Amino acid sequence: MKNNHFKIVVLLIILLMSIGYIINIVSYDAPNFIKKGKIDFSDVNLEEEKVVVLNGEWEFYWNEILYPEDFQQETIKEAEYIKVPGPWTQDLNNNKYSGKGVATYRLILNNVPENFYYGLKKQNIRNASRIFVNGEIVLSDGEIYGKTGENISGNISKATYFYVSKPQVEIIIQVANDDFLVGGIAKTIYFGRQANVMDTNHKTIVFELLIAVILFTVGLVLMLFYLTNFRRSREINELLFFSIICISASIVSATLSERVIRYLLDVITLEMIFKLMYFNIYTILSVLVFFCDSLEKNLIPVKLKNGIVIIYGLYIFTIIVAPMAVFLIFSRFFMFFNSLVLGILFILVLRLYLKIKVVGDESLKYLTYPILLLVIFNVTLYNVDLIIYSLGLKRNINAGFIGMLSISLVVTFLLSYRYSKIQSKNQEISMALVESFYQIDQITKTSERNQLAFLQAQIKPHFLFNAMTGIIGLCYNNPKRAGKMLTHLTEYLKYSFQINLDSDHITIEKELYLTKQFVAIEKERFGEKLNISYCVEKEVLSYKIIPLIIEPIVENAIRHGILKNKTGGNIYLNIGVENELLVIEVIDDGIGMDESLIHSIKEKTRREGIGIGLINIGIRLKSFYDSDLMIKSQIGKGTKVSFEIPLTYLKEVKK
């Protein structure tokens, strides 16, 4: 009877997850506000709405790349209208178009409140695009008719910000597609006040980044456990296979939607991103077959298993050697094939699970089938979510992300329990694992309350990867240092998340504490290569400033100044008062920066060699204090970044 109850519970969990996912799809709300290429903001409160989805009937000009001045000409042809978001295969008059080519979209926004900064967030425009707002180019992704006359794909989710001085806003989007199966504005474009668009953009990035980091961490820990135990325990291959599934899922998550992998690798191209994404998707599906077979021998008939692996292997080889336009041709077939394979695996496992009557001493074996069912179901959910998202029927793929994250943690727990007896000699490593998961869980919960603070703290993907990897590595050789480093990381994250941007200001003392925790982590990693000196006048510690305008400058000096110097270097942080001005200076003797890089920072232009931190600080200093970020640098000598705030702006802590 107990066995039947347990089976019912497992099946109910799967049923409830299925219902939840269906509700997630059905509740997808994509209202079409735009009619005949126009939208009226007279009745829209942009403070309450936060961001507005620009869905509906856009003007559409097929096979033409039109510029703002072209629409001033009387000879311009009459517009067709097409639904956005969606592929450009057919307009509202049922005119059909090729999947590849060029086109121009146009939209007029009327009665927009004037004299505010606004933002646009584009997600997926296939595959190269340029966006003009009121005659000025504000965003370019890829190249349309570049130097060689060819279109170079971009298709990266981006946000752009601009000032609106009149009530009518004209948005023109040029689009070109030579690679993807079908071109067009595939995902919703968001419009709103700058702060609201930034908030939406940052929350999405942080969410997807955390998913990728946690999945990678789980996979890495399982991989390390396997490598340290495989000689003594021959039957733990499922740990190896599941670790590969988790690591591959983390890479897929980093290449989808916001494509957060570009924060790790600035030079990565769209083709490389697609190759990474498809390679790891089919790695997951291939390894899943071996994972099932390792947990339950003879589950899959040999001929069926070999056939599936050979087909996936050939496609993975095609992904590696062929250009994107070639391997994408087969993607629709594999969407169907993936569903077929996952369906067969699920039925095979479910059939055995319903028959099993194992109890007592063999209870560990009784866990095998729930593990397999949950893994296969969640990989299926992930696959379905990818398909629906790629067709533009869902705004995001959060359900798939959360499903993979949940199952990775659940299966990790079940596999750990399954092999608890052979882990007795590695108890210290296991405790470190549990503590790491606890810290990551705290990160996730806290970031949900304050994700914008997390991004502005500039906790970048490679920082979290390096810090966690360093901690795991030290667990083997120097647990004391590992504990110390984990303490610094915990304090750093805790203070980052405690920053409440609604209150606008924190004391210099708190900002300085956050900075010191970050430096301590980097110091643990790089040792004598990094040195920092603090010269801070005691009376300024109680002054209140806007948060996160000191730590990102120090972080930038470490990452782009000192660590790029083979011999390392020194950083000097000076804070004091001169002539009724609060003066903050960060000086390093690193590699320095050239004038073009300094110009890019002052012009708020993102490029390789600088993070968005300095650009963000410059914008906020100007907005809050009408102050500028000052940069002096000499190649090979070092850099000085400073700013001044009139004391009249500062608020002292009430004692």
- Whether the CB-CB separation of 458 and 613 falls below 8 Å is answered with yes
For 122, other C-beta atoms within 10 Å of its C-beta total 22
Name the pLDDT band for 26 (thresholds 50, 70, 90).
Answer: very low
* pLDDT per position as a tens digit, 354-387: 776 654 444 445 566 777 777 777 777 777 776 6
Q: How far apart are CA 103 and CA 126, in angstroms?
A: 11
CATH number of 38-188: 2.60.120.260
Q: Is residue 257 predicted with pLDDT exceeding 50?
A: yes
- Domain 199-419 CATH (choose: 1.20.1070, 1.10.1760, 3.30.450, 3.10.450): 1.20.1070
User: What is the pLDDT, as a whole number, of residue 118?
Assistant: 93
Report the range of poorest mean pLDDT among 105-109, 352-356, 646-650.
352-356
467: confidence class by pLDDT, cuts 50, 70, 90: low
Nearest CA to 160 out of 501, 612, 548 is that of 612
In this prediction, residue 7 has a pLDDT band, given cuts at 50, 70 and 90, of low
Task: Please state, in angstroms and as integers, the Cα–Cα distance from residue 117 to each residue in 46, 164, 197, 548, following that order.
Answer: 12, 6, 10, 21
3-state helix, strand, coil split of the chain in percent (to 5) is 55, 20, 25
What stretch of H or E contains 313? Answer: helix 302-321
Supply the pLDDT for residue 300: 84
Confidence of residue 449 (pLDDT cuts 50, 70, 90): very low
As a whole-number percent, the residues of the chain with pLDDT over 90 amount to 20
Confidence (pLDDT) at 464: 60
DSSP state of 562: I
Read off the pLDDT of residues 30-44 as tens digits, 9 standing for 90 and up.
Answer: 556 788 999 998 877
Position 309 pLDDT exceeds 70: yes
Q: What is the mean pLDDT of residues 452-472?
A: 54
Residue with tokens 């925790």: 517
Look at residue 223 and tell me whether its pLDDT is greater than 90: no
Flag whether pLDDT at 618 surpasses 90.
Answer: no
The tokens for 56 are 């509906």
Selected residue with higher pLDDT from 482 and 522 = 522
Say whether 162 sits in a helix, a strand or coil: strand
Report long-range pairs for 611-618 (Cβ below 8 Å, ≥24 apart).
Answer: 611/458, 611/460, 611/552, 611/555, 611/556, 611/559, 611/560, 612/458, 613/458, 613/552, 613/553, 613/555, 613/556, 614/552, 614/553, 614/556, 614/641, 616/456, 616/552, 617/548, 617/549, 617/552, 617/553, 617/643
Lowest mean pLDDT among 104-113, 454-463, 629-638: 454-463
Q: In this model, does residue 68 exceed pLDDT 90?
A: yes
Q: Which residue has tokens 């647990």?
A: 479
Write the CB contacts of 432 (distance below 8 Å, at least 6 apart in sequence): 471, 472, 475, 479, 482
Mean pLDDT for the chain overall = 78
Looking at mean pLDDT, say which of 12-21, 402-411, 500-509, 592-601 comes out highest: 592-601
Residue 136, token pair as written in the block = 């000025």
pTM assigned to the model:
0.54
Residues 6 or more apart whose CB falls under 8 angstroms from that of 282 comprise: 312, 315, 316, 319, 334
366, 353 in Cβ contact below 8 A?
no
Distance (Å, rounded) from C-alpha 532 to C-alpha 574?
11
Name the phi and psi angles at 403, rounded to 5. Answer: -60, -45
Question: pLDDT exceeding 70 applies to what percent of the chain?
Answer: 72
How are beta strands 101-110 and 38-40 bridged, if at all? parallel
Are the CB atoms for 126 and 243 separated by under 8 Å?
Answer: no
pLDDT at 572: 94
The 3-state DSSP class for residue 574 equals: strand
655 pLDDT band (50/70/90 cuts)? very low
Looking at the DSSP assignment, which residues form a beta bridge with residue 532? 571
How far apart, in whole angstroms, are the C-alpha atoms of residue 328 and residue 342? Answer: 21
The answer to whether 295 and 371 are in contact (CB under 8 A) is yes
CATH number 3.90.1300.10 given to 531-652: no
DSSP 260-277: THHHH-TT--HHHHHHHH
CA 59, CA 71: separation in Å to the nearest integer?
A: 12
Question: CA torsion 442→445→449→454, rounded to 10°?
Answer: 50
Distance of CA 66 to the CA centre of its chain: 33
Would you list the DSSP string of 361-400?
Answer: GGHHHHTHHHHHHHHHHHHHHHHHHHHHHHTTS-S--HHH
Distance CA 234, CA 250 (A): 27
The pLDDT of residue 144:
85
Nearest in space to 569 (alpha carbons), one of 591, 552, 594 = 591
Would you call 242 helix, strand, or coil by DSSP? Answer: helix
Given a cut of 50, whether residue 210 has pLDDT beyond it is: yes
Give the residue with greater pLDDT, 3 vs 494: 494
Q: At residue 429, does pLDDT exceed 70? A: no
pLDDT of residue 478: 67
In tens, the pLDDT along 51-65 reads 888 988 999 999 999
Q: Is 80 exceeded by the pLDDT of residue 410?
A: no
The alpha carbon dihedral of 224, 524, 563, 599 has a sign of positive
Is residue 499 very low, low, confident or very high in pLDDT (cuts 50, 70, 90)?
low
The angle that helices 398-418 and 368-390 make with each other, rounded to 10 degrees, is 160
Give the largest CA-CA distance in the chain.
85
SS3 category, 297: coil
Domains of the chain by residue range = 38-188, 199-419, 531-652
Name the region of 118 (left: φ>0; alpha: ψ -120 to 50; beta: rest): beta
The two structure tokens encoding residue 380: 């299926």
pLDDT at 447: 45
Q: Which pLDDT score is estimated for 641? A: 92
Q: Is the pLDDT of residue 459 over 60?
A: no
In this prediction, residue 549 carries a pLDDT of: 85
Least confident range of 139-148, 252-261, 636-645, 646-655:
646-655
